[in-house]
Chain A
Amino acid sequence: MMRLIGVIFGKELRDHLRDRRSLMSALMFPLLGPATVVLTLGMLASWQSHDRPLEIAVVGRANAPSLVAFLERAGAQLTDAPADYEAQVRADTLEVVLVIPPDYPRDFRSGRPASVQLVEDGSNNRAQSSVARARRLLQGYARQIGALRLVARGVSPELASAVQVDDVDLATKQQQAAALLNMIPVFLLMAAFLGGMHVAIDSMAGERERGSLEPLMVNPVPPLAVVLGKWLATVVAAAVAVVLMIFGMQLAVAHVPLEELGLRVSFGGHEIGLLLAALLPLALFTAALQLLVATFARSFKEAQTYVTLVMFVPVLPGIFLSLSPLDPRPWMNWVPTLGQQLLMTAAIRGDAASVLGYLAAAAGTLVATAICVAVTARLLVQEKIVFGR
């Protein structure tokens, strides 16, 4: 029996090492996951760096000393604009220029609207936040002076503002980044599902579609040996994807400027060990589940549809969990994929690992795996599976 399992495993491994699609599903996705993390976290970090001091180049600084003082108090760094400031704004070397015209003091003193100009390049997306901040500061100054004038005339400034809108943005960049880090377990789960997907589909539904299942089952081989051999090959593909994904994520996290986002994540050997302990048992289960589902399909395409659908059922609670964490309860550890999701989230957050939790999760997946393998083996003796094409 062991020898037969080995024969079937060896054949499937050799077969799929020659299959570009199998290799892609085992190797490509693990690269895509870390790349996504690097890109999104990197982008967040670069947005964050826009919180640097606002730089405004000013023309006619002497015309409005009180405005200049207001801006500097608000933390803006003012420089004298070069003569070719319009060209420099167009060339995006200057983000925003404030022009205070010579008649500003006269209009200001006489109580008429004194105009200033913000010179910007509307097509320069990078400058937009600087322009918006400069505009907010100028409006703040205008409100302040207006209020003082009303007070000087004995009118309450509150009369002038009928409605006041306060923005309450609760999401900080740190929180967004933390939410992204919570997506790492979801990526890892998907690696466990996607890694062996193609091998599972090809070695069951593909076998049926090609008409090679009947010749195979004519051999003196117990159906359980056939299933176990194919299952092992699928497990190898899923495990390779999981391991690659974990190390890829580790590299990604190490290369993102998390400090700039105010995040401290420890993702080293200890965490890698925990993630492997959570995910490798899961790979046993995903392989068995996919083989079972693929056995029902008469063709490759049909199996792809089923297997993809099945993948979303366990991953959905994972995505939900990453968006709105719920209180982990002990029974959840036993549920395949949900248990692993909880373990991984805890590991990445740096919570203490519970040995019992890992054992429960492994036991839960092993039971589910055994059931899937046994049911698949029973299907392989059914005439409608062996002959139904």
Chain B
Amino acid sequence: MIEASKLHRQFGEVVAVDEVSFLARDGEITGLLGPNGAGKTTTLRMIYTLVQPDRGEVRVDGQVVADDPIAARRRLGVLPDARGLYPRLTAREHVRYFGQLHGLFGAELEKRVDELLELLDMHGIADRRTQGFSQGERVKVALARALVHKPANVLLDEPTNGLDVLATRATRELIRRLRANGHCVIFSSHVMQEVAALCDRIVIIAAGRVRAEGTVDELRALTGEQDLEEAFVRVISPPAEVQR
């Protein structure tokens, strides 16, 4: 469970995140939906402790992350905006490395690595160096290493960005499976259809503020628009500021 309350972060003159609050429950997929530059990535970075909020706080499973960032990171699996891989290491070595950084070793680690390679259907590429991997293969590696320690909470920053149809589908399938296993999943995207298809709850962010929050049906009702795209556009347009 992840609880963001009144997060605020400013970069110089620019307010990137302004009073953002939401709750992401276990066993649910929470979508952060917003146009590019809306503040989604900064919000996620504050949750995974690499950006310090100016005000407000984040709780992960009830613990304030600022109190013990290292402990909070143990409870988080993160696919950040940057998915850099090490070109000279194989896919398996990537997953193993992150597992070791989470304190997994020996047979337990190897078993977990095999599980993930199986889950993400990576056996064909497991022992190849990642240099020259396709975008989809790279995301798989990044996902596998993010999930190696079986985190209760999973943060995915635009996981399907740049993926083809098949890879997108596989990623969605994985996200649903995480939900089925009771994980708390936060998923950011600027693609409305994707969020609508996948998420139990949607938090719409624009210009650093939460513009609307709710289930798909609630959002439709809120805006009075049957078409979700119309609803999204109305919500994020500055003049029609819709509060919950």
Interface SS of chain A: helix, strand, loop or mixed?
Answer: helix
Chain B contacts with A in 61-90, Cβ cutoff 8 A? 70-71, 73-74, 76, 78, 80-89
Does any Cβ of A come within 8 Å of B145's Cβ?
yes
How many A-B residue pairs have C-beta atoms within 8 angstroms? Tell me.
78
| Contact yes or no, B50 A220, CB < 8 A | no
| Contact yes or no, A218 B80, CB < 8 A | yes
A307→B97 CA distance, assembly (Å): 28
Chain B residues near A210 (CB-CB < 8 A)? 84-87
Does any Cβ of B come within 8 Å of A219's Cβ?
yes
Chain A residues within 8 Å of B, Cβ to Cβ: 3-4, 7-8, 11, 14-15, 18-19, 207, 210-222, 383, 386-387, 389
Does any Cβ of A come within 8 Å of B51's Cβ?
yes
Over the window 2-45 of chain B, the binary record of Cβ atoms lying under 8 Å from chain A Cβ atoms (1 yes, 0 no) is 00000000000000000000000000000000000000000001
| Contact yes or no, A220 B80, CB < 8 A | no
Rounded to whole Å, the gap between the CB of A220 and the closest CB of chain B is 4
Chain A residues near B85 (CB-CB < 8 A)? 210, 212
- Among B51, B52, B93, B142, the residue within 8 A (CB) of A215 is B142
A221→B69 CA distance, assembly (Å): 10
Does any Cβ of A come within 8 Å of B165's Cβ?
no
| Contact yes or no, B80 A215, CB < 8 A | yes
| Contact yes or no, B50 A4, CB < 8 A | no
A12→B63 CA distance, assembly (Å): 33
Does any Cβ of A come within 8 Å of B98's Cβ?
yes
Rounded to whole Å, the gap between the CB of A274 and the closest CB of chain B is 37
- Among B45, B93, B98, B129, the residue within 8 A (CB) of A219 is B98
Task: Decide yes or no: A214 and B80 within 8 Å by CB, A19-B88, A383-B51 being known contacts.
Answer: yes
Chain B residues near A219 (CB-CB < 8 A)? 73, 98, 101-102
| Contact yes or no, A215 B78, CB < 8 A | yes
| Contact yes or no, B88 A215, CB < 8 A | no
- Among A7, A8, A213, A221, the residue within 8 A (CB) of B84 is A213
Interface size class of B (residues with CB under 8 A): 20 to 34
Chain B contacts with A in 98-122, Cβ cutoff 8 A? 98, 100-103
| Contact yes or no, B100 A207, CB < 8 A | no
- Among B50, B76, B86, B100, the residue within 8 A (CB) of A214 is B50
Chain B residues within 8 Å of A, Cβ to Cβ: 45, 48, 50-52, 70-71, 73-74, 76, 78, 80-89, 93, 97-98, 100-103, 129, 142, 145-146
| Contact yes or no, A220 B142, CB < 8 A | no
| Contact yes or no, B84 A14, CB < 8 A | no
- Among B50, B78, B102, the residue within 8 A (CB) of A386 is B50
Chain A residues near B83 (CB-CB < 8 A)? 211, 215
Q: Which residue of B lies closest to A16 (CB)?
A: B88
A-B contact pairs, 25 of them (CB 8 A): A7-B101, A11-B86, A11-B93, A14-B89, A15-B89, A18-B129, A210-B85, A210-B86, A214-B50, A215-B82, A215-B83, A215-B84, A215-B98, A215-B142, A215-B146, A216-B101, A218-B48, A218-B50, A219-B101, A220-B102, A220-B103, A383-B52, A386-B50, A387-B82, A389-B82
| Contact yes or no, A222 B100, CB < 8 A | no
Q: Ordered nearest first, which 4 A-B pairs have the shortest CB separation?
A: A212-B84, A211-B84, A211-B82, A210-B84
Q: Which residue of A lies closest to B80 (CB)?
A: A214
A383→B51 CA distance, assembly (Å): 6
| Contact yes or no, A220 B84, CB < 8 A | no
| Contact yes or no, B70 A222, CB < 8 A | yes
Rounded to whole Å, the gap between the CB of B132 and the closest CB of chain A is 14
Chain A residues near B82 (CB-CB < 8 A)? 211-215, 387, 389
A214→B19 CA distance, assembly (Å): 25
Chain B residues near A213 (CB-CB < 8 A)? 82, 84
Chain A residues near B102 (CB-CB < 8 A)? 219-220
Chain B residues near A18 (CB-CB < 8 A)? 88, 129
| Contact yes or no, A15 B88, CB < 8 A | yes
Q: Which residue of A lies closest to B51 (CB)?
A: A383
A39→B244 CA distance, assembly (Å): 81
| Contact yes or no, A218 B84, CB < 8 A | no
Chain B residues near A207 (CB-CB < 8 A)? 84
Q: Which residue of B lies closest to A210 (CB)?
A: B84
A386→B100 CA distance, assembly (Å): 21
